[in-house]
Structure 1
Amino acid sequence: MMGKVLAAMIVLSALAAGGAMYYFQVYGYYTEVTASGVDDVQMTPVGTSMPETILYEDFQAIDADSSPIRYRACFTTPTSVATLTETYEIYDGGAPRVAPGWFECFDAEEIGTLIDQGRAVVFLGERNMEFGIDRVVAVADDGRGFVWHEVNDCGDKTYDGSPLGEDCPVRNLNDGDT
Protein backbone atom coordinates (compact mmCIF):
# COMPACT_ATOMS: atom_id res chain seq x y z
CA MET A 1 0.00 0.00 0.00
CA MET A 2 2.84 2.39 0.85
CA GLY A 3 4.35 1.84 -2.62
CA LYS A 4 1.10 2.90 -4.31
CA VAL A 5 0.97 6.09 -2.25
CA LEU A 6 4.59 6.93 -3.12
CA ALA A 7 3.99 6.18 -6.81
CA ALA A 8 0.89 8.38 -6.80
CA MET A 9 2.85 11.21 -5.14
CA ILE A 10 5.60 10.93 -7.75
CA VAL A 11 3.10 10.97 -10.62
CA LEU A 12 1.20 13.94 -9.16
CA SER A 13 4.45 15.82 -8.55
CA ALA A 14 5.57 15.17 -12.13
CA LEU A 15 2.21 16.37 -13.49
CA ALA A 16 2.35 19.52 -11.36
CA ALA A 17 5.93 20.26 -12.47
CA GLY A 18 5.02 19.66 -16.12
CA GLY A 19 1.98 21.90 -15.84
CA ALA A 20 4.05 24.64 -14.22
CA MET A 21 6.72 24.43 -16.94
CA TYR A 22 4.05 24.64 -19.65
CA TYR A 23 2.39 27.63 -17.96
CA PHE A 24 5.64 29.55 -17.56
CA GLN A 25 6.76 28.89 -21.15
CA VAL A 26 3.44 29.85 -22.74
CA TYR A 27 1.94 32.40 -20.35
CA GLY A 28 3.98 33.15 -17.25
CA TYR A 29 6.87 35.25 -18.55
CA TYR A 30 4.99 37.17 -21.23
CA THR A 31 3.47 40.58 -20.59
CA GLU A 32 1.46 42.75 -22.91
CA VAL A 33 3.34 45.83 -24.08
CA THR A 34 1.47 49.07 -23.58
CA ALA A 35 1.50 51.02 -26.83
CA SER A 36 2.89 54.54 -26.64
CA GLY A 37 1.05 55.49 -29.82
CA VAL A 38 4.08 57.51 -30.89
CA ASP A 39 7.11 55.31 -31.59
CA ASP A 40 5.99 51.70 -31.30
CA VAL A 41 6.95 50.81 -34.89
CA GLN A 42 10.27 52.13 -36.18
CA MET A 43 12.40 51.26 -39.18
CA THR A 44 15.89 52.36 -40.25
CA PRO A 45 16.04 54.53 -43.39
CA VAL A 46 18.51 53.54 -46.13
CA GLY A 47 21.91 55.13 -45.51
CA THR A 48 21.39 55.96 -41.84
CA SER A 49 21.63 54.12 -38.56
CA MET A 50 18.88 55.97 -36.69
CA PRO A 51 15.43 54.36 -36.79
CA GLU A 52 12.38 56.53 -37.40
CA THR A 53 8.71 55.95 -36.70
CA ILE A 54 6.47 54.88 -39.57
CA LEU A 55 2.71 55.38 -39.84
CA TYR A 56 0.92 52.59 -37.97
CA GLU A 57 -2.36 51.66 -36.30
CA ASP A 58 -3.83 48.75 -34.33
CA PHE A 59 -0.56 48.04 -32.49
CA GLN A 60 -0.42 45.00 -30.17
CA ALA A 61 2.73 43.52 -28.62
CA ILE A 62 4.03 41.07 -26.06
CA ASP A 63 7.45 40.77 -24.48
CA ALA A 64 9.26 38.84 -21.76
CA ASP A 65 12.23 39.70 -19.59
CA SER A 66 13.39 36.09 -19.72
CA SER A 67 14.79 36.35 -23.27
CA PRO A 68 15.66 39.16 -25.69
CA ILE A 69 14.03 37.30 -28.60
CA ARG A 70 10.54 36.89 -27.12
CA TYR A 71 9.26 40.25 -28.37
CA ARG A 72 6.41 40.01 -30.91
CA ALA A 73 4.16 42.76 -32.27
CA CYS A 74 1.44 43.25 -34.85
CA PHE A 75 0.15 46.43 -36.47
CA THR A 76 -1.32 47.81 -39.67
CA THR A 77 0.10 50.56 -41.86
CA PRO A 78 -1.40 52.61 -44.68
CA THR A 79 2.05 52.98 -46.31
CA SER A 80 2.60 50.70 -49.31
CA VAL A 81 5.37 48.12 -49.37
CA ALA A 82 6.72 49.79 -52.54
CA THR A 83 7.15 53.10 -50.70
CA LEU A 84 8.70 51.36 -47.70
CA THR A 85 11.25 49.50 -49.85
CA GLU A 86 12.37 52.79 -51.42
CA THR A 87 12.84 54.40 -48.01
CA TYR A 88 13.91 51.77 -45.48
CA GLU A 89 16.71 49.22 -45.22
CA ILE A 90 15.72 45.67 -46.16
CA TYR A 91 16.77 42.97 -43.69
CA ASP A 92 18.13 39.77 -45.24
CA GLY A 93 17.35 36.45 -43.62
CA GLY A 94 14.65 37.52 -41.19
CA ALA A 95 12.45 34.60 -40.13
CA PRO A 96 9.69 34.99 -37.53
CA ARG A 97 9.74 32.90 -34.38
CA VAL A 98 6.62 31.20 -33.12
CA ALA A 99 4.56 33.24 -30.67
CA PRO A 100 2.32 31.75 -27.98
CA GLY A 101 -0.98 30.55 -29.43
CA TRP A 102 -2.96 33.05 -27.38
CA PHE A 103 -1.25 35.97 -29.19
CA GLU A 104 -3.41 35.35 -32.24
CA CYS A 105 -2.32 38.20 -34.52
CA PHE A 106 1.23 36.80 -34.86
CA ASP A 107 1.23 33.54 -36.85
CA ALA A 108 4.89 32.81 -37.62
CA GLU A 109 4.05 30.16 -40.21
CA GLU A 110 1.76 32.52 -42.14
CA ILE A 111 4.26 35.37 -41.90
CA GLY A 112 7.05 33.08 -43.15
CA THR A 113 4.87 32.02 -46.09
CA LEU A 114 4.12 35.65 -46.96
CA ILE A 115 7.87 36.40 -46.93
CA ASP A 116 8.72 33.31 -49.01
CA GLN A 117 6.03 34.20 -51.57
CA GLY A 118 7.27 37.79 -51.84
CA ARG A 119 4.02 39.12 -50.40
CA ALA A 120 5.84 40.60 -47.38
CA VAL A 121 9.19 42.33 -47.03
CA VAL A 122 11.38 42.31 -43.92
CA PHE A 123 12.99 45.60 -42.93
CA LEU A 124 15.56 46.58 -40.33
CA GLY A 125 13.82 48.13 -37.37
CA GLU A 126 16.84 48.78 -35.20
CA ARG A 127 20.28 47.18 -35.36
CA ASN A 128 21.75 46.06 -32.04
CA MET A 129 18.80 47.39 -30.06
CA GLU A 130 20.30 45.15 -27.44
CA PHE A 131 23.82 43.81 -28.04
CA GLY A 132 23.60 41.04 -30.66
CA ILE A 133 19.85 41.49 -31.19
CA ASP A 134 18.17 43.32 -34.08
CA ARG A 135 14.53 44.38 -34.14
CA VAL A 136 13.01 43.58 -37.54
CA VAL A 137 9.73 44.62 -39.11
CA ALA A 138 7.88 42.71 -41.81
CA VAL A 139 5.15 44.42 -43.81
CA ALA A 140 2.76 42.47 -46.01
CA ASP A 141 1.23 43.77 -49.22
CA ASP A 142 -2.17 43.99 -47.47
CA GLY A 143 -0.83 46.48 -44.89
CA ARG A 144 -0.41 44.08 -41.99
CA GLY A 145 2.87 44.39 -40.16
CA PHE A 146 4.81 42.23 -37.72
CA VAL A 147 7.78 42.89 -35.47
CA TRP A 148 10.16 40.45 -33.79
CA HIS A 149 13.78 40.21 -32.68
CA GLU A 150 16.57 38.41 -34.55
CA VAL A 151 19.97 37.32 -33.25
CA ASN A 152 22.47 39.07 -35.55
CA ASP A 153 26.03 38.07 -36.51
CA CYS A 154 27.51 39.71 -33.40
CA GLY A 155 25.07 37.79 -31.23
CA ASP A 156 25.88 34.52 -33.02
CA LYS A 157 29.60 35.11 -32.48
CA THR A 158 29.04 35.92 -28.81
CA TYR A 159 26.97 32.79 -28.22
CA ASP A 160 29.35 30.43 -30.03
CA GLY A 161 32.50 32.02 -28.58
CA SER A 162 33.95 33.30 -31.87
CA PRO A 163 35.97 36.55 -31.90
CA LEU A 164 33.58 39.46 -32.40
CA GLY A 165 35.42 41.34 -35.12
CA GLU A 166 35.50 45.02 -35.97
CA ASP A 167 31.93 45.28 -37.28
CA CYS A 168 30.42 44.50 -33.84
CA PRO A 169 29.75 47.36 -31.42
CA VAL A 170 31.61 47.54 -28.13
CA ARG A 171 29.64 45.79 -25.40
CA ASN A 172 28.80 47.83 -22.35
CA LEU A 173 28.74 45.29 -19.52
CA ASN A 174 27.38 47.92 -17.12
CA ASP A 175 24.02 47.93 -18.93
CA GLY A 176 23.12 44.43 -17.80
CA ASP A 177 24.68 42.52 -20.70
CA THR A 178 26.61 39.49 -19.58
Structure 2
Amino acid sequence: MGKFLAALILGSAILAGGGLYYLQVYAYYDEVVPDGRQDVQLTRLTSEQAEPIPYADFQAIDSESSPIRYRACFATSLGLDVLADTYMPYDKPVPLKAPGWFDCFDADDIATGLKDGSALAFMGQKDIEYGIDRIVAVTDDGRGYVWHQINRCGKVVFDGLPTPEDCPEPPNRN
Protein backbone atom coordinates (compact mmCIF):
# COMPACT_ATOMS: atom_id res chain seq x y z
CA MET A 1 0.00 0.00 0.00
CA GLY A 2 2.89 2.39 0.80
CA LYS A 3 4.43 1.94 -2.67
CA PHE A 4 1.08 2.66 -4.28
CA LEU A 5 0.63 5.89 -2.29
CA ALA A 6 4.21 6.97 -3.05
CA ALA A 7 3.66 6.34 -6.76
CA LEU A 8 0.35 8.22 -6.65
CA ILE A 9 1.96 11.22 -4.94
CA LEU A 10 4.92 11.19 -7.34
CA GLY A 11 2.62 10.87 -10.37
CA SER A 12 0.43 13.73 -9.13
CA ALA A 13 3.50 15.93 -8.58
CA ILE A 14 4.79 15.21 -12.09
CA LEU A 15 1.39 16.00 -13.64
CA ALA A 16 1.04 19.20 -11.60
CA GLY A 17 4.58 20.31 -12.49
CA GLY A 18 4.00 19.59 -16.17
CA GLY A 19 0.73 21.50 -16.08
CA LEU A 20 2.32 24.51 -14.42
CA TYR A 21 5.18 24.49 -16.94
CA TYR A 22 2.73 24.38 -19.86
CA LEU A 23 0.64 27.21 -18.40
CA GLN A 24 3.69 29.41 -17.82
CA VAL A 25 5.45 28.84 -21.13
CA TYR A 26 2.71 28.14 -23.69
CA ALA A 27 -0.89 28.59 -22.58
CA TYR A 28 -1.15 32.35 -22.08
CA TYR A 29 0.63 33.47 -25.24
CA ASP A 30 -1.23 34.26 -28.45
CA GLU A 31 0.22 34.96 -31.86
CA VAL A 32 -0.27 38.58 -32.92
CA VAL A 33 -1.80 38.88 -36.36
CA PRO A 34 0.07 41.68 -38.17
CA ASP A 35 -1.93 44.43 -39.85
CA GLY A 36 0.86 45.04 -42.37
CA ARG A 37 1.02 48.79 -41.76
CA GLN A 38 1.26 49.82 -38.10
CA ASP A 39 2.94 46.86 -36.40
CA VAL A 40 6.34 48.55 -36.06
CA GLN A 41 6.36 52.20 -35.03
CA LEU A 42 9.09 54.52 -33.78
CA THR A 43 8.78 57.93 -32.11
CA ARG A 44 10.07 60.73 -34.33
CA LEU A 45 12.57 63.13 -32.73
CA THR A 46 10.95 66.27 -34.15
CA SER A 47 7.27 65.60 -33.40
CA GLU A 48 7.58 63.07 -30.55
CA GLN A 49 4.80 61.12 -32.29
CA ALA A 50 5.00 57.43 -33.12
CA GLU A 51 4.92 56.60 -36.83
CA PRO A 52 5.24 53.35 -38.80
CA ILE A 53 8.54 52.38 -40.40
CA PRO A 54 9.00 49.97 -43.33
CA TYR A 55 9.26 46.35 -42.18
CA ALA A 56 8.91 42.77 -43.36
CA ASP A 57 8.90 39.27 -41.86
CA PHE A 58 6.94 40.41 -38.80
CA GLN A 59 6.08 37.87 -36.12
CA ALA A 60 4.89 38.60 -32.60
CA ILE A 61 3.38 37.09 -29.47
CA ASP A 62 1.44 38.70 -26.66
CA SER A 63 -0.50 37.77 -23.56
CA GLU A 64 -3.46 39.33 -21.83
CA SER A 65 -2.05 38.16 -18.48
CA SER A 66 0.71 40.81 -18.41
CA PRO A 67 1.44 44.02 -20.34
CA ILE A 68 5.16 43.19 -20.54
CA ARG A 69 4.83 39.81 -22.31
CA TYR A 70 4.75 41.34 -25.80
CA ARG A 71 7.67 40.28 -28.07
CA ALA A 72 8.12 40.80 -31.80
CA CYS A 73 10.70 40.28 -34.52
CA PHE A 74 10.91 41.92 -37.94
CA ALA A 75 13.31 43.06 -40.65
CA THR A 76 13.73 46.61 -41.95
CA SER A 77 15.55 48.21 -44.85
CA LEU A 78 16.33 51.36 -42.86
CA GLY A 79 19.94 51.70 -41.74
CA LEU A 80 21.01 52.54 -38.21
CA ASP A 81 22.31 55.95 -39.27
CA VAL A 82 18.91 56.97 -40.72
CA LEU A 83 17.09 55.60 -37.69
CA ALA A 84 19.42 57.39 -35.24
CA ASP A 85 19.01 60.71 -37.08
CA THR A 86 15.21 60.46 -37.24
CA TYR A 87 13.89 58.61 -34.21
CA MET A 88 14.07 58.99 -30.44
CA PRO A 89 16.66 56.75 -28.74
CA TYR A 90 15.76 54.75 -25.64
CA ASP A 91 18.29 55.23 -22.87
CA LYS A 92 18.10 52.09 -20.74
CA PRO A 93 16.72 49.22 -22.81
CA VAL A 94 16.50 45.86 -21.09
CA PRO A 95 15.30 43.14 -23.48
CA LEU A 96 13.09 40.71 -21.61
CA LYS A 97 13.34 36.96 -22.13
CA ALA A 98 10.88 35.33 -24.50
CA PRO A 99 9.63 31.75 -24.29
CA GLY A 100 12.16 29.35 -25.81
CA TRP A 101 9.75 28.32 -28.57
CA PHE A 102 9.63 31.95 -29.86
CA ASP A 103 13.10 31.47 -31.29
CA CYS A 104 13.47 34.67 -33.34
CA PHE A 105 13.75 36.71 -30.11
CA ASP A 106 16.91 36.10 -28.06
CA ALA A 107 17.13 38.66 -25.25
CA ASP A 108 20.78 37.84 -24.51
CA ASP A 109 21.85 38.41 -28.15
CA ILE A 110 19.85 41.64 -28.31
CA ALA A 111 21.43 42.89 -25.06
CA THR A 112 24.89 42.04 -26.38
CA GLY A 113 24.21 43.98 -29.59
CA LEU A 114 22.97 46.98 -27.62
CA LYS A 115 26.07 46.87 -25.44
CA ASP A 116 28.60 46.53 -28.28
CA GLY A 117 26.85 49.07 -30.54
CA SER A 118 25.79 46.67 -33.30
CA ALA A 119 22.18 47.42 -32.31
CA LEU A 120 20.39 50.58 -31.24
CA ALA A 121 17.23 50.94 -29.15
CA PHE A 122 14.47 53.41 -29.90
CA MET A 123 11.26 54.55 -28.28
CA GLY A 124 8.54 52.75 -30.14
CA GLN A 125 5.54 54.13 -28.30
CA LYS A 126 5.60 55.81 -24.89
CA ASP A 127 2.93 54.67 -22.45
CA ILE A 128 1.40 52.10 -24.76
CA GLU A 129 -0.38 51.30 -21.50
CA TYR A 130 0.12 53.38 -18.35
CA GLY A 131 3.72 52.94 -17.17
CA ILE A 132 4.68 50.65 -20.07
CA ASP A 133 6.76 51.71 -23.09
CA ARG A 134 7.14 49.78 -26.34
CA ILE A 135 10.84 49.52 -27.16
CA VAL A 136 12.25 48.76 -30.61
CA ALA A 137 15.84 47.62 -31.18
CA VAL A 138 17.39 47.34 -34.65
CA THR A 139 20.69 45.67 -35.51
CA ASP A 140 23.19 46.85 -38.09
CA ASP A 141 22.04 44.06 -40.44
CA GLY A 142 18.39 45.20 -40.34
CA ARG A 143 16.93 42.71 -37.88
CA GLY A 144 14.52 44.29 -35.43
CA TYR A 145 13.02 43.36 -32.09
CA VAL A 146 10.18 44.81 -30.03
CA TRP A 147 9.29 44.36 -26.36
CA HIS A 148 7.43 46.20 -23.62
CA GLN A 149 9.33 47.67 -20.69
CA ILE A 150 8.17 49.32 -17.48
CA ASN A 151 9.10 53.00 -17.52
CA ARG A 152 10.16 55.19 -14.58
CA CYS A 153 6.64 56.40 -13.76
CA GLY A 154 5.24 52.88 -13.95
CA LYS A 155 7.95 51.49 -11.68
CA VAL A 156 7.18 54.03 -8.96
CA VAL A 157 3.40 53.67 -9.18
CA PHE A 158 3.45 49.85 -9.52
CA ASP A 159 5.60 49.73 -6.36
CA GLY A 160 2.71 51.46 -4.55
CA LEU A 161 4.47 54.79 -4.11
CA PRO A 162 2.90 58.20 -4.82
CA THR A 163 2.94 59.35 -8.43
CA PRO A 164 5.97 61.62 -9.09
CA GLU A 165 5.10 65.22 -10.00
CA ASP A 166 6.44 64.90 -13.56
CA CYS A 167 4.40 61.73 -14.28
CA PRO A 168 0.80 61.56 -15.46
CA GLU A 169 -1.78 60.36 -12.98
CA PRO A 170 -2.44 56.64 -13.34
CA PRO A 171 -5.90 55.63 -14.50
CA ASN A 172 -8.35 54.60 -11.82
CA ARG A 173 -8.46 50.85 -11.39
CA ASN A 174 -11.19 48.87 -9.69
Distance 1:171 1:76 in 2: 34
Question: Residue 13 of structure 2 aligns to which amino acid in structure 1?
Answer: A
Q: After the TM superposition, which of the residue ranges 162-171 and 136-145 deviates more from structure 2? A: 162-171
Deviation, 1:7, is 1.8
Q: Secondary structure at the match of 1:40?
A: coil
Distance 1:44 1:161 in 2: 29
Q: Secondary structure at the match of 1:5?
A: helix
- Say yes or no: does 1:157 pair with 2:148: no
> What does residue 95 of structure 2 align with?
96
> What does residue 60 of structure 2 align with?
61
- Say yes or no: does 1:81 pair with 2:80: yes
> What does residue 21 of structure 2 align with?
22
Distance 1:102 1:25 in 2: 12
Distance 2:49 2:16 in 1: 45
Deviation, 1:135, is 0.3
User: Is the Cα contact below 8 Å between 2:72 and 2:147 reproduced in 1?
Assistant: yes
Q: Secondary structure at the match of 2:123?
A: strand
1:21-72: CA deviation from partner (whole Å, max 9, x where unpaired): 1111111111110000010000111143321001111100000111111100
Distance 1:52 1:61 in 2: 18
User: Is the Cα contact below 8 Å between 2:163 and 2:169 reproduced in 1?
Assistant: no
Deviation, 1:9, is 1.5
Deviation, 1:4, is 2.1
Distance 2:14 2:149 in 1: 34
Question: Residue 63 of structure 1 aligns to which amino acid in structure 2?
Answer: D
Q: After the TM superposition, which of the residue ranges 162-171 and 113-122 deviates more from structure 2? A: 162-171
Moved over 6 A (4+): none
In structure 2, the CA distance between the partners of 1:163 and 1:48, relative to structure 1 (3 Å rule), is farther
> What does residue 33 of structure 1 align with?
32
Tell me the TM-score normalised to structure 1 length. 0.94
Deviation, 1:140, is 0.5
Q: Secondary structure at the match of 2:33?
A: coil
Question: Residue 57 of structure 1 aligns to which amino acid in structure 2?
Answer: A
Structure 2 unaligned regions, length at least 5: none
